């Protein structure tokens, strides 16, 4: 089992701190497994079984706990007096008014509370109001390439072959263990995709015509790496015979990002040092899902690489934006505290014209922050163009 060290270390550092730990992320990204790994760590430090109360609200045997009073009564009945109790509630949004139960457990001095959810909206309502300043959110993603590589390197394939598989089938943890069985992998990804669409988006937004939702996703999937607007999506759907307003498109996109299937990267004016509200880009949480809903011919390598880099930067940095620079664009501006890094992504820059085009936006930035060009080119220890470092993308992912 891959230890998901970054997330596990985060939980270990927060153990027994008087703060609610909320792990959010797309379905099947490994939230429940993270709980299992952390519980094993607790037991190794001397925590006894009866101090650990774990409830998965998606399991049928817990159907009676989908009311906040029932959930609260069940958990409090199992508390061990005079000892710390570690409470884990998986898929907490399944419980109506769950925030009341969480709040009541939080105020007990011997309760250390951990919850997971597959929808960002669980932090937008009463929970955020009730617990303002008293919770910490840990955003979880599927496998990074480094984690995927660790899970599959015994296959005998080289890292380039494993990376090609990562691009094609995606990064959901269980996919790494399906032994390259394309039929089974596609069925598994279809199951995740359908569940997200039907349970996390259509049911919550009360969308009866799911095909409209799918058409919006297909339009976005075909536009990775390109600025996109709700009006553009609306016009595209209208031209294909589906009448839908930009406001409705915006509401559906918000629901899709709330379910973590999509991420919205906003634009940042590098010279003006301000964030822009229009023409951001959307990226998929997993390339396997993106490939599942677009035709083979639309699986553009450059855009898939851009998607992978965006997600990796999210793992490493506090904020990731699209960089605007007059008429030019920098693929990503990644910030962490007061540090900034600029990234361009290209499948290859062996062609001189391509190299010149990719370097141009970075050359216009006059500050001294790192500027990096990521490609699949085999360039040994890297190249340097007047301070702009070219790095092999796969090596960068494995750092």
Whose CA is closest to 393, among 188, 146, 168, 199? 146
* DSSP string for residues in 29-40: SSHHHHHHHHHH
Q: How far apart are CA 57 and CA 203, in angstroms?
A: 17
Structural domains present in the chain? 5-139 (3.40.50.300), 145-397 (no CATH)
Q: For residue 292, what are its two tokens?
A: 């599942």
pLDDT of residue 221: 93
pLDDT tens across 324-337, in order? 998 899 999 999 88
Rounded Cα gap, residues 20 and 11, in angstroms: 11
Residue 94 in this model has a pLDDT that exceeds 80: yes
pLDDT band for position 180 (cuts 50, 70, 90): confident
Predicted local distance difference test score (pLDDT) of residue 297: 56
pLDDT score at 126: 57
β-strands 135-139, 20-24 pairing: parallel
**Neighbouring residues of 154: CB distance < 8 A, sequence distance ≥ 6:** none
Average pLDDT, the chain: 92
CA distances from 109 to 84, 112, 153, 254 (A): 8, 8, 45, 37
Q: Tell me the C-alpha distance between 26 and 371, whole Å.
A: 31
pLDDT at 296: 62
Residue 295's SS3 state is coil
User: What token pair was written down for 266?
Assistant: 């906003």
pLDDT at 287: 95
What number of residues does the chain have? 399
pLDDT computed for residue 93 by the predictor: 87
Residue tagged 């000892």 (tokens): 83
Averaged pLDDT for residues 202-231: 90
Give the whole-angstrom CA distance, residue 329 versus residue 16. 45
Q: Which of 298, 310, 385, 306 is nearest to 347 (CA)?
A: 306
Q: Which residues pair with 16 in a beta bridge?
A: none
Is the model more confident about 311 or about 118? 311
Query: Which pLDDT belongs to residue 225?
Result: 83
Torsion, CA 275, CA 281, CA 285, CA 287, rounded to 10:
-150
Q: Which residue has the higher pLDDT, 241 or 72?
A: 72
Query: pLDDT for 266-304, tens place per residue?
Result: 999 988 788 887 788 999 999 999 999 987 655 689 999
**Residue 170 and residue 160: Cα distance in Å, rounded?**
15
pLDDT band at 200 (very low <50, low <70, confident <90, very high): confident
Residues 143/315, Cβ–Cβ less than 8 Å? no
User: Cβ-count burial of 389 within 10 angstroms (0-12 exposed, 13-18 middle, 19+ buried)?
Assistant: middle
Q: Is the pLDDT of residue 124 over 80?
A: no
pLDDT the model gives residue 123? 67
**Are the C-beta atoms of residues 195 and 203 closer than 8 Å to each other?**
no
Residue matched to tokens 């677009």: 294
Give the pLDDT band (50/70/90) at residue 262.
Answer: very high
Q: How far is CA 164 from CA 39, 149, 159, 287, in A?
A: 34, 11, 9, 11
- Residue 268, C-beta contacts closer than 8 angstroms, at least 6 positions apart: 274, 275, 276, 321, 322, 323, 324, 333
């Amino acid at each position: 089992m891959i230890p998901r060290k970054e997330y596990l270390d985060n939980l270990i550092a927060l153990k027994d701190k008087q703060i609610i730990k909320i792990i959010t992320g797309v379905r099947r990204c490994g939230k429940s497994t993270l709980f299992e790994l952390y519980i094993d760590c607790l037991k190794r430090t001397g925590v006894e079984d009866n101090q650990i109360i774990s409830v998965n609200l998606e399991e049928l045997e817990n159907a009676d706990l989908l009311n906040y009073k029932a959930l609260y009564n069940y958990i409090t009945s199992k508390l061990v007096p005079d000892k710390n109790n570690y409470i884990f509630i998986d898929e907490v949004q399944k419980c109506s008014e769950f925030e009341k139960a969480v709040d009541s457990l939080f105020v007990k001095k011997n309760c250390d509370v951990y919850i997971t959810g597959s929808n960002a909206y669980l932090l937008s309502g009463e929970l955020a109001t009730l617990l303002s300043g008293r919770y910490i959110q840990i955003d979880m993603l599927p496998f990074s390439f480094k984690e995927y590589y660790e899970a599959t390197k015994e296959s005998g394939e080289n890292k380039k072959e494993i990376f090609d598989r990562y691009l094609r089938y995606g990064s959901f943890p269980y996919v790494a263990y399906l032994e390259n069985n394309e039929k089974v992998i596609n069925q598994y990804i279809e199951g995740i995709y359908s569940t997200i669409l039907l349970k996390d988006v259509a049911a919550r937004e009360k969308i009866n015509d799911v095909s409209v939702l799918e058409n919006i996703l297909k339009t976005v999937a075909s536009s990775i790496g390109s600025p996109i607007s709700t009006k553009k999506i609306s016009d595209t759907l209208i031209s294909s015979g589906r009448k839908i307003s930009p406001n409705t498109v915006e509401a559906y996109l918000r629901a899709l990002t709330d379910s973590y299937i999509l991420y919205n990267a906003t634009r940042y004016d590098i010279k003006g040092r301000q964030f822009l509200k229009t023409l951001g880009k959307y990226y998929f949480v997993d390339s396997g899902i993106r490939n599942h809903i677009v035709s083979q011919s639309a699986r553009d390598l450059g855009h898939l690489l851009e998607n992978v880099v965006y997600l990796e930067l999210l793992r490493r940095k506090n904020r990731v934006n699209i960089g605007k620079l007059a008429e030019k664009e920098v693929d990503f501006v990644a910030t962490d505290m007061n540090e900034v890094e600029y990234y361009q992504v290209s499948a290859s820059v062996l062609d001189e014209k391509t190299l010149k085009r990719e370097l141009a936006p970075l050359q216009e930035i006059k500050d001294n922050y790192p500027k990096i060009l990521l490609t699949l080119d085999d360039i040994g220890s890297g190249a340097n163009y007047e301070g702009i470092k070219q790095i092999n993308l796969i090596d960068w992912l494995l750092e």
